[in-house]
Amino acid sequence: MSTPRRAIYAASLLLAIMTGVCLAETPHLGKPLDEAAVAAWDISILPDGTGLPKGSGTPAQGAPIYAEKCAMCHGENGKGGFAAALVSDAKIDGISASQKTIKNFIGDSTTIFDFIRRAMPFQAPRSLSDNEVYALTAYILAENKLIGANDVMNAETLPKVRMPNRDNFIIRFPDRI
Ligand code: HEC
């Protein structure tokens, strides 16, 4: 056996022994999570709406929540302030992040729900109920004129909202969809 091959053989043997040792003697840290604990973290929503929770909301229900919990950063009626505008008709003609808005960039309406639920308000993420998130999503979509003022957003209706930029993304691995 040549020296490099011998070294590889020795390393593999050592790894096999170490793996055996590790499996046999775990440090017994932590504890198994029950289903409810996992559910609290399992909040990803797929583009087609898979994972959307029960509940619903309308633009009219979202407006006062927006004024109370969001306007301080995103400006009155979503026009922008300390944080980016959430309501805008601006066009996009480059890759600068500052040009990207919900209306001209986000490809799936469900992303808006997912993002608000997991990350907003910035100083208190995960503090909103699912109904509040539906209402805020409805409010932002209506202010952007992507849904009607009286449309109800829920697990069935939200995925059907077509975002204007939806067909302009280049799918890197189309065969994996
Ligand atoms: C303390 C300031 C603050 C508050 C309050 C706040 N946001 Fe934000 N928001 C931000 C910042 C900062 C970002 C950018 C975060 C990032 O890029 O990671 C952001 C990003 C967002 C985005 C993504 C925008 C985009 O174009 O991709 C949405 C949607 C959003 N916020 C909605 C809300 C809603 C709804 C509320 C009220 C419940 C809210 N935010 C409250 C600071 C805030």
pLDDT digits (tens, 9 = 90+) for 37-60: 998 889 999 999 999 999 999 999
Q: How big is the CA angle at 177 (ends 109 and 52), to the nearest 5 degrees?
A: 35
Digit-coded pLDDT (tens) for 134-174: 999 999 999 999 999 999 999 999 999 999 999 999 989 98
- Give the separation between CA 135 and CA 70, rounded to whole angstroms: 13
Pocket of ligand 1 (CB under 6 A): 69-70, 72-74, 83-84, 86, 101-102, 112, 115-116, 120-123, 136
Where on the phi/psi map is residue 93: left (φ > 0), alpha (ψ -120 to 50), or beta? Answer: alpha
* Nearest Cα residue to atom 28 of ligand 1: 116
Residues 69, 133: contact at Cβ < 8 Å? Answer: no
